[in-house]
Structure 1
Amino acid sequence: MTLTNYWWLLIWIFIGGGVLALFIPKQQELVNGRKVERWTMPTALILIAPYIVWAGFRSNAFGDTGAYQKAFRECASSFGEIGNYLSSITKDKGFYLLMALEKSIFGDSCRLFFVLLAAFQLLIIVWMCRKYSEDYWFSIFLFIASTDYISWTFNGIRQFTAVVIAYAATPFILKKKYIPSILLILLASTMHQSVLLMIPIIFIIQGKAWNKKTVLCILACLTALLFVDQFTNVMDSMLAETQYRNVVSDYKSWNDDGTNPLRVLVYSIPMILSLIGLKYVQTEDDPMINTAVGASAIVCGLYVISMVTSGIFLGRLPIYISLWSQCILLPWEIKHMFTEKSARLVKIIAICCYCVFFYFQMHFTWGIL
């Protein structure tokens, strides 16, 4: 079951997803007080199931897989050992506790560990996209074709565990229930402390689309871009007493040349469309879309800064909100900002462009396709 031909990632979404979309009826639901049409949960799960399996049965040489296998083998294998084991862990203890609990309950199979973790991560993505996206199939396609799926379920799984826990706070964030939102973010921070960035963000993205807070955020990012050397010095000082104290020196010593400009362009499209079609966003006044528009502006700003600083470190931060802008906002924009005929054409063009990006990233950047 190990995935060796990565074209299957797209083959399944087109063939399997196409059959499910065409022949399985949808159902009516209430989301944010509005009656909407959504995929049934069993159908949504069928679409994502192969991706859970492939993430679990990845190649041992892929990304950080070897390091996580080593950590899993060395972690506690019984409940009685967990206390002593955690005392030896210096950061992100929540993730290693999760690892130890899984090993104590289900045994020492690394494959099963990866499968269960991928299931936890992807089921939250399924829940979010099914509930809030205008087009569930298109949202999952964007998640796969953007290579976020490969980047985060095959690699960076500790941070992505924190990411999905933060996304689970979406209903609370939309209803401005900040205490449960922050509690979930604090829980996620035991997996990866970088998720604490979400605490100020959930306040910044509140309100109408393109409000003063969003504009100020963009101006701050532009200022950081213009004074990038001073920005990195400030960042180095701010992180001095944290587990990320070596971030600036590390990415400079590794000759990290920043996030690929093509990726920055791809992730900036939802923000650009939200500006062009602002009147449609304002007329609809949907809380999820307003939030996603604010998120898209921050995503764009962070990626632009990471383009001239570090793709390895700063380029990993947008994932905490980029799925809102890419998988929720973009499908909405295509459906609501164009006529039905034009929307169909724009969607086809978007699918083709994302397939090209998928090939570029997988073949030229990573050399695995």
Structure 2
Amino acid sequence: MVLTNYWMLLIWILTVGLFLNVVIPKTLVTIEGKSEYRWGKFSAFLLVVPYIVWAGFRTDWFGDTPVYRMSFYDAASSLSALPAYAASQTKDTGFYVLNSLFKIFISSSSVVFFLAIAAFQMFCIMRTYRKYSSDYWMSIFLFIVSTDYLSYMHNGMRQFIAVCGIFACFGFILKKEYLKTIIVILLLSTIHQTCLIMIPIIFIVQGKAFNKRTFIFIILTILVLVSLNQFTSFLENALKETQYNDTLLTSVWKDDDGTSIFRVIVYSVPMILSIFGKKYIDQANNPMINICVNCSIVTSLLYIVSKFTSGIFIGRLPIYTSLTGYILLPWLIDHIFEKKSAGIIKIIMMLLYVLFFYYQMHFSWKLL
């Protein structure tokens, strides 16, 4: 059950996944008042089961896994010890309380804990893509092949709990139920403080694609890039009292040369394609797609800033909006191109993403 051959990440979804996509009948459901065909719950779950298992049984040498495992072992083992343990935590107390409650009431096995976290994360992704994506298989494929799966479910697990919790509330954002969304964000900020960035973003992404708010965000980004030295100083001062203070005091922050330009380009694809397809986006005037387009703008701009500042800190923020890009891309291709051309474009897109997967896995992470 331990993942040793990372090509299996693609082999599963390109074999069993495509088989399920073709053979299993789709279910007719009502989405935002419209009847559309979607994957059934069982087949949608079956597609992602191996990714839950692989994340749960990951080895200690991958990313931050040993840190998370040790924090689980160090967590309180009884309710009487929990208050003192929680009080000893100086940041993201909610995560450590979660560790303790799981250890006390469910299991003292770190593997079981990792499996439970992976199941929660993948359920949020599966549920949202199944409901809102016009191509569930493609959305899951993009999530895996982009290496988001490994980056966050095998590495940045704590932040991804917050990311997935907010992503599961995509319907709240769509319906402008801001109070509910902000309550969820505030609760999840006890797991990872970075999710507070979503409070202004849920307002920025509302409205039509490429609206005034997004243009203001673009202008602010340009100002940040123009005054980069001042922004970096401001960022360092702002982070001194946060969970990233330790990072600032080490050479890791000073030696950080920003996010890879290849990653910036890859994550900007949904925004770039949206520019070319703006006419079709405006014609559809689909609130969900409008939000996804505006999220893609935020994603691209945050990655651009991270390229010139910090891939360690700023480069981790776009994940809060980039997951919607995997809803947007299949929709854009289906609506911009004719049916035959759309099929060819999807194949080309998949091949390019596989190349990025190989680049990231082989050259950046040395895993292939």
Same-fold call, TM > 0.5?
Answer: yes
Does the aligned pair in 1 maintain the 2:207–2:291 contact within 8 Å?
Answer: yes
Q: CA deviation at 1:251?
A: 6.5
Does the aligned pair in 2 maintain the 1:77–1:107 contact within 8 Å?
Answer: no
Find the aligned partners of 2:241 and 2:65 in 1 and give their Cα distance: 29
Kindly provide the amino acid, as one letter, of the partner of residue 116 in structure 2.
Answer: L
SS in 2 for 1:258: coil
Q: CA deviation at 1:59?
A: 1.4
Percent of matched pairs sharing the same residue: 51
1:349 and 2:323 equivalent? no
1:122: which partner in 2? Answer: 122
2:363: which partner in 1? Answer: 364
SS in 1 for 2:242: coil
Rate the CA distance shift 1:94–1:13 in 2: closer, same or farther, 3 A.
same
Find the aligned partners of 2:111 and 2:59 in 1 and give their Cα distance: 10
Kindly provide the amino acid, as one letter, of the partner of residue 187 in structure 2.
Answer: L
Give the alignment's Cα RMSD to 1 decimal.
1.3
The CA deviation string for residues 238-289 of structure 1, in whole angstroms up to 9 with x for no partner, is 3344333465554765511110100100000100111111011111111111
Kindly provide the amino acid, as one letter, of the partner of residue 336 in structure 2.
Answer: M
Find the aligned partners of 2:88 and 2:186 in 1 and give their Cα distance: 21
2:169: which partner in 1? Answer: 169
Does the aligned pair in 1 maintain the 2:248–2:254 contact within 8 Å?
Answer: no
The CA deviation string for residues 102-129 of structure 1, in whole angstroms up to 9 with x for no partner, is 1112221111111111001111000011
1:224 and 2:235 equivalent? no
SS in 2 for 1:104: helix
Rate the CA distance shift 1:183–1:222 in 2: closer, same or farther, 3 A.
same
Does the aligned pair in 1 maintain the 2:253–2:310 contact within 8 Å?
Answer: no
Rate the CA distance shift 1:58–1:257 in 2: closer, same or farther, 3 A.
same
SS in 1 for 2:29: strand
Does the aligned pair in 2 maintain the 1:251–1:310 contact within 8 Å?
Answer: no
Q: CA deviation at 1:167?
A: 1.1
Find the aligned partners of 1:253 and 1:72 in 2 and give their Cα distance: 27
Correspondence 1:52-71 to 2 at 5 A:
52-71=52-71
Find the aligned partners of 1:171 and 1:57 in 2 and give their Cα distance: 32
Find the aligned partners of 1:289 and 1:251 in 2 and give their Cα distance: 41
Kindly provide the amino acid, as one letter, of the partner of residue 329 in structure 1.
Answer: L
1:335: which partner in 2? Answer: 334
The CA deviation string for residues 271-325 of structure 1, in whole angstroms up to 9 with x for no partner, is 0111111011111111111001111001000000101111111000000110012
Q: CA deviation at 1:85?
A: 1.4
Find the aligned partners of 2:252 and 2:157 in 1 and give their Cα distance: 24
The CA deviation string for residues 164-190 of structure 1, in whole angstroms up to 9 with x for no partner, is 111122111111111001001001101
Kindly provide the amino acid, as one letter, of the partner of residue 101 in structure 1.
Answer: L
Find the aligned partners of 1:17 and 1:314 in 2 and give their Cα distance: 33
2:270: which partner in 1? Answer: 270
Kindly provide the amino acid, as one letter, of the partner of residue 25 in structure 1.
Answer: P
Find the aligned partners of 2:201 and 2:246 in 1 and give their Cα distance: 24
Does the aligned pair in 2 maintain the 1:173–1:181 contact within 8 Å?
Answer: yes
Find the aligned partners of 1:365 and 1:112 in 2 and give their Cα distance: 30
SS in 1 for 2:255: coil
Rate the CA distance shift 1:163–1:234 in 2: closer, same or farther, 3 A.
same
Higher alpha-carbon deviation: 106-115 or 181-190: 106-115
Correspondence 1:26-65 to 2 at 5 A:
26-65=26-65
Find the aligned partners of 1:330 and 1:347 in 2 and give their Cα distance: 9
Runs of 4+ with deviation above 6 angstroms: none
SS in 2 for 1:90: coil
1:310: which partner in 2? Answer: 310
The CA deviation string for residues 75-102 of structure 1, in whole angstroms up to 9 with x for no partner, is 0122332222111111111111111111
Does the aligned pair in 1 maintain the 2:28–2:37 contact within 8 Å?
Answer: yes
1:187: which partner in 2? Answer: 187
Kindly provide the amino acid, as one letter, of the partner of residue 69 in structure 1.
Answer: R
Correspondence 1:319-330 to 2 at 5 A:
319-325=319-325, 327-330=326-329
Kindly provide the amino acid, as one letter, of the partner of residue 41 in structure 2.
Answer: M
Rate the CA distance shift 1:251–1:162 in 2: closer, same or farther, 3 A.
farther
Does the aligned pair in 1 maintain the 2:247–2:253 contact within 8 Å?
Answer: no
1:93: which partner in 2? Answer: 93
Find the aligned partners of 2:26 and 2:182 in 1 and give their Cα distance: 34
Kindly provide the amino acid, as one letter, of the partner of residue 297 in structure 2.
Answer: A
Does the aligned pair in 1 maintain the 2:62–2:155 contact within 8 Å?
Answer: yes
Does the aligned pair in 2 maintain the 1:335–1:343 contact within 8 Å?
Answer: yes
1:110: which partner in 2? Answer: 110
Find the aligned partners of 1:166 and 1:145 in 2 and give their Cα distance: 22
1:207: which partner in 2? Answer: 207
SS in 1 for 2:268: helix
SS in 2 for 1:351: helix
Find the aligned partners of 2:352 and 2:73 in 1 and give their Cα distance: 41
Correspondence 1:247-266 to 2 at 5 A:
250=250, 253-266=253-266
Rate the CA distance shift 1:228–1:366 in 2: closer, same or farther, 3 A.
same
The CA deviation string for residues 169-227 of structure 1, in whole angstroms up to 9 with x for no partner, is 21111111110010010011010001000000000111000001111111211221122
Question: TM-score scaled to structure 1, two decimals?
Answer: 0.97
Q: CA deviation at 1:32?
A: 1.4
Rate the CA distance shift 1:51–1:195 in 2: closer, same or farther, 3 A.
same
Structure 1 gaps of 5+ residues are none
2:136: which partner in 1? Answer: 136
State how many pairs are aligned: 368
Does the aligned pair in 2 maintain the 1:162–1:191 contact within 8 Å?
Answer: yes
Find the aligned partners of 1:155 and 1:238 in 2 and give their Cα distance: 25
Does the aligned pair in 1 maintain the 2:163–2:195 contact within 8 Å?
Answer: yes
